[in-house]
Each structure stands twice: as C-alpha cells, then as structure tokens.
Amino acid sequence: MTVSELDRGAAHPLPRRIAVLSFHTSPLAQPGTGDAGGLNVYVLQTARRLARRGVEVEIFTRATHSSQPPVEEAGDGVLVRNIVAGPFEGLRKEDLPTQLCPFVAGVMRAEAGHAPGHYDLIHSHYWLSGQAGLVASEHWGVPLVHTAHTLAEVKNAVLAAGDTPEPESRRIGEQQIVDAAHRLVVNTVGERDELVRFYDADPADIDVVSPGADLDQYTPGTQRGTERARRALGLAQKSEVIAFVGRIQPLKAPDVIVRALAEIVRTQPHRDVRLLVVGGPSGSGLERPRSLMELADELGVADRVSFLAPRPPSELVDVYRAADIVAVPSYSESFGLVALEAQACGTPVVAAAVGGLPTAVADGRTGLTVDGHDPRRWADVLAGLLDDDELRLSMSRAAPVHASGFSWDSTADGLLESYAGTTAAYRARRAEAAAS
C-alpha cells in the first residue's frame, strides 16, 4: 500500500519524506559486531518498508571508514548519508558525544542543499541521535519522533556484575529528549511504563509500535534442511544444541548460558549437549574480547562451545534451524529481535523475563521465560526443555504462528500512523501559535 492510498483512509496527512538519524551505528553494519545490533535491523527494515509505501527515507549516520561514499543506496527509496564526524576508526562509544557537533553540522549541510521543507519529519534512534534531532527539528521546523531502544535508568537498575553503569550525562540527555520530542515511539507497553516511571513522560505522548521479523527470510526449515544446517556448522545430528546469538557483552549475559552448560555437564557428564555462540565483542566486552572463551575453558566446557562470527540473515537462519533451543538471557532488552527471528524459524526460545522478552516469547507456548540469571536455574530450564520432546515439538509448531503476528510491515504501518498524528498535532500547534 502506498502513501497516497494510506492517505485516503487516514485522518491526517502522511509524510512524503523523512530524515532518520542513527548517529552511533550504521544500518548497513553487520549486526553482532561492535555496536551493531537490533537497532540496526530496526532502522533498515522499517526504512525499506516505509519506502515501499511511497515514503522517501534518508538515514543519517556517522562514517566509520574512509572508503565509505557520502551517500549509499539501501534499497529503492532509501538513502544512507555517511556524515564525517570525528576519526573513522578507534572512537569508543563513550567518546561519541564529543562528535555530536560535527555530526549535526553535517546533517545541516546535507539539508541545506535541498529546497526548504524537504523533510516532513525526523525520526531519531538512541539518545545521541535524539540530541541531534532536537537541533534539526528546531532549525527545520518539523516534528521530532524519537525511539530510545535502551534507557540509562533501566540499564543501570539491572546492571550485570562487572558491567559499567551508564553515565549521568546520558540520563540527562535522555531526559531532555523526553521533555522536548514531539512523539516517543516504544516497542512495548512495559517500555512505555518505564519512560513514565523513570523520566516522567506523558503517556499521551507515547505510541507503542512493536518491532517485527523478516518473515520472508526467517521461516521454519524441513528436516533435511536442519540436517544440512547442522552439517554446515559442524554439529552432529544427534547432539542437543543450544544457541546464543548477539553481541558478547555483560548486558547480553552470554556467560549465564556458558555457566548453565557447565552445570548441565557437571550433573550429566555423558550428555551430548553443545552451545553455539554467534556474535562479536561489544561495549564493555571489548575490554576482554576473549573472556567468554576463557570462561568456557575454565569451566571445562570449551570442547562443547563453538564460537562463530556474526553473519547475515541468509546464514543466520541456519543457526536458528540447527538449534534445539535459542537462549536469550539478557539483563535488559527493549524487545529481543533474536527471540522473534528464532521463533519464526520454528525454534523454541528460553529467555530472561525482562523488558520486551515476555512479549516476544509466549511463555509456555512458544518458549519459556526465566526469572533471574542464576545459572543453575537456567540449567534446569534448558535441560528440562531438552528432555521434553513433546513440549519442544509443540512449541516448535506454535512459534512461527506467534512470530507471524510481528512483521516489519505491521511496524511500518504503526509508524506511519504515529507520524501522521504527530505531524497533524505539530502543525496545529504552530498554527495556533502564529494566530495568537
């Protein structure tokens, strides 16, 4: 459905062209490397779906390589503008706020090359982009929609042992965005409640729009396809396989699964259970990039753990299909796209009962949610589900049905509705102010 078709049935006009700000990480980066993760997937997938509906999308991000062109196409109707702001490489995430000014200047220069009113709306992702969005919104005279993805107050409230708390400067920056943005978009009702509780946000200014999964890419495999996937990954057909997919950092808690594996092996040493870890070091995990490997060795399960580099969806689908269970033990997760993708492939998920994961996973039907991060508790739940073939098969059948309720097309529709309402309210306020 195009914008014109949606417009005819909409109460408010829909945007023709939007500027998307993703300062700290490019939507074209491989998820699972550096700071690239679910946010990257969200930005790219929603941009492509919006473009299919006739909305032109320009994504502004910070250039990280000298070889990157100023502008790249990311699909029909989607442009990625690589803004030079600071050194291309070697800049830590903690240092990125120092490069906000040159990034904003680059965004302003790009907009200055167009006729006035080129963009109808700005959608910023993560707090650093939100700060840039506040400036652009004021200068361009267009509304700012913001999606936080993660929040400092929430992360610090559930900090993993040994992890570094988010700085006060981030919390202050987030508060400024909450106070000044024209609309906040969140993934779940729980995230909306966190904004109200920790940042005193007005619930009337928040829209809940669930993320999705690429349901064309992530689909259940056949028995033969699963066998092929296991061969490609070097896994025995009869092995019990648990998979962890994500960035290797304390927040994502991959150590919990390694410790749970060690607990299973300690009590059942002859059990043929293996763990796949797919991802790269990120965040505070960069300080000890081999720490998870060292932990597996220390616990005596190194021979049962396979570490794989991050991979594109066309290859990641084989990881999901090869696994008996996908584990998502995060301490904080605004939604959990890995959980959704795994279920779309027909793989049950065992996830921490935090953030959006209880929404992403239908507890008892498509997977199980676990309170806390005690490795022994996780070992009991994982081993119990591996033992229960009937339950696991039932979950495998129900998982794709549950996942089908979360598509990127639905997300795009929700965003367009939010954009239309935001634009109408913004124009009404400006008209009222001009008349007074």
Which residues participate in the annotated binding site for 1D-myo-inositol 3-phosphate? Answer: 24, 35-40, 93, 126, 150, 170
Q: If DSSP states are collapsed to H, E and C, what string results for the chain?
A: CCHHHHHHHCCCCCCCEEEEECCCCCCCCCCCCCCCCHHHHHHHHHHHHHHHCCCEEEEEEECCCCCCCCEEECCCCEEEEEECCCCCCCCCHHHHHHHHHHHHHHHHHHHHCCCCCCCCEEEEECHHHHHHHHHHHHHHCCCEEEECCCCHHHHHHCCCCCCCCCCHHHHHHHHHHHHHCCEEEECCHHHHHHHHHHHCCCHHHEEECCCCECCCCCCCCCHHHHHHHHHHCCCCCCCEEEEEECCECHHHCHHHHHHHHHHHHHHCCCCCEEEEEECCECHHHHHCCCHHHHHHHHCCCHHHEEEECCCCHHHHHHHHHHCCEEEECCCCCCCCHHHHHHHHCCCCEEEECCCCHHHHCCECCCEEEECCCCHHHHHHHHHHHHHCHHHHHHHHHHHHHHHCCCEHHHHHHHHHHHHHHHHHHHHHHHHHHHHC
Which segments are annotated as binding site for Mg(2+)?
320-321, 323, 347
Tell me the binding residues. Answer: 24, 30-31, 35-40, 93, 126, 150, 170, 247, 252, 311, 320-321, 323, 333, 341, 347
* CB neighbour list of residue 30: distance below 8 Å, 6 or more residues apart: 36, 310, 311, 312
> What distance in Å separates the CA atoms of residue 350 and residue 367, rounded to the nearest whole number?
6
Q: Backbone phi, then psi, for 333, in 5-degree steps?
A: -155, 115
Q: Which residues are annotated as a binding site for UDP-N-acetyl-alpha-D-glucosamine?
A: 30-31, 38, 247, 252, 311, 333, 341
Residue 308 · residue 270 · CB < 8 Å:
no
Q: Give yes or no for a contact between 202 and 193, defined as CB atoms under 8 angstroms apart.
A: no
**Distance, CA of 420 to CA of 391 (rounded, Å):** 44
